[in-house]
Amino acid sequence: MMVQSVNLKWLSFKGSYLLARAHGSGYLLRSIRNMLSRLGQIRRCAASLSQSINQIAASRQKHTLPDLTYDYGALEPHICAEIMQLHHSKHHATYVNNLNVTEEKYQEALAKGDVTAQVALQPALKFNGGGHINHTIFWTNLSPNGGGEPQGELMEAIKRDFGSFQKMKEKMSAATVAVQGSGWGWLSYDKESGRLHIAACANQDPLQGTTGLIPLLGIDVWEHAYYLQYKNVRPDYVKAIWNVINWENVSDRLQIAKK
Ligand SMILES: [Fe+2]
């Protein structure tokens, strides 16, 4: 409707101009004032249309908490239902909400050309964006039917790059347990070398965004991921989580990463 309104105003504007040419200078001056007035209306219509488009675009970009494909209690006894419920519905949900708030502020700063505000929002974007990315991967890395060993190409790559599946597990467990404070341990793919790597990140730093390595399997070692069940014994939690690793998901991620 708004586009149609703009077209009608343009036709009217063009008509006034032709009449002005036919009727002399007095009519011409009145016509110019009318034209300027109509131009102002067109600008206001265009601004309103642009604002509507921006609002629609902003509403479409809202992040949402992904559903789990299993129940909160499905990973017991390795990860208890209370941890899973709090972890997913409270902690991850908070990252999602704060990411949306941060992006909204960032859009405002961009619209104003306020570079200082944009820079000031970077830590919140990294923390909440990383929290959303990391947990979204984490839930799919886990399965009540998980555990055991990977098959096919993933297993071959693990043997090639670590010597054996057991050695990879030991190396990743050690790196993950050794994270100081809160963070993540990762099995990842280095696209440049075509090899698998073990990595660790502090806080919610997203692996790919901060190192370039593509995340395949993440182990969350924030205390919220294990303290209710394992208290301060992080190594026991890391040992137990191997029983619920969804190797099919990790294999799928490797296939996508290699493309
Ligand atoms: Fe977490």
Tell which phi-psi region holds residue 24, choosing left (phi > 0), alpha (psi between -120 and 50) or beta.
left
In a domain, 112, yes or no: no
Is residue 73 over pLDDT 90? yes
Domain termination residue (choose one: 20, 37, 59): 59
pLDDT band at residue 26 under the 50/70/90 scheme: low
pTM value?
0.78
Q: What is the mean pLDDT of residues 5-33?
A: 49
Domain termination residue (choose one: 40, 59, 78): 59
Long-range contacts formed by 208-212: CB under 8 A, 24+ apart = 209/126, 209/129, 209/130, 209/133
Is residue 82 over pLDDT 80? yes
Going by the annotation, the residues of the binding site for Mn(2+) are 87, 135, 220, 224
Question: How far, in Å, from the CA of 107 to the mean position of ligand 1?
Answer: 27
In a domain, 76, yes or no: no
Is residue 170 over pLDDT 90? yes
Tell me the pLDDT tens digit for each residue of 119-136.
Answer: 999 999 999 999 999 999
Going by the annotation, the residues of the binding site are 87, 135, 220, 224
pLDDT, position 215: 98
- Side chain identity, residue 118: Q
In a domain, 173, yes or no: yes
In a domain, 30, yes or no: yes
pLDDT, position 34: 61
Domain termination residue (choose one: 23, 39, 59): 59
Question: How far, in Å, from the CA of 97 to the mean position of ligand 1?
Answer: 15
Q: What is the mean pLDDT of residues 245-254?
A: 98
Q: What is the mean pLDDT of residues 45-65?
A: 60
In a domain, 215, yes or no: yes
Closest CA to 74 of 222, 250, 249, 244: 244
Question: How far, in Å, from the CA of 223 to the mean position of ligand 1?
Answer: 8
pLDDT, position 61: 80
Is residue 183 over pLDDT 80? yes
Question: How far, in Å, from the CA of 86 to the mean position of ligand 1?
Answer: 10
Count of the separate structural domains present in the chain: 2
Question: How far, in Å, from the CA of 79 to the mean position of ligand 1?
Answer: 13
In a domain, 167, yes or no: yes
Question: How far, in Å, from the CA of 46 to the mean position of ligand 1?
Answer: 45
Structural domain boundaries enclosing 51: 2-59
In a domain, 221, yes or no: yes
Closest CA to 197 of 210, 179, 213: 213
Q: What is the mean pLDDT of residues 102-111?
A: 98
Question: Residue by residue, what is the 3-state secondary structure of the chain?
Answer: CHHHHHHHHHHHHHHHHHHHHHHCHHHHHHHHHHHHHHHHHHHHHHHHHHHHHHHHHHHHCCCCCCCCCCCCCCCCCCCCHHHHHHHHHHHHHHHHHHHHHHHHHHHHHHHHCCHHHHHHCHHHHHHHHHHHHHHHHHHHHECCCCCCCCCHHHHHHHHHHHCCHHHHHHHHHHHHHCCCCCEEEEEEEECCCCEEEEEEEECCCCHHHHHCCEEEEEEECCHHHCHHHHCCCHHHHHHHHHHHECHHHHHHHHHHHHC
Is residue 161 over pLDDT 70? yes
In a domain, 223, yes or no: yes
Q: Which two tokens stand for residue 173?
A: 């467990």
pLDDT, position 29: 57
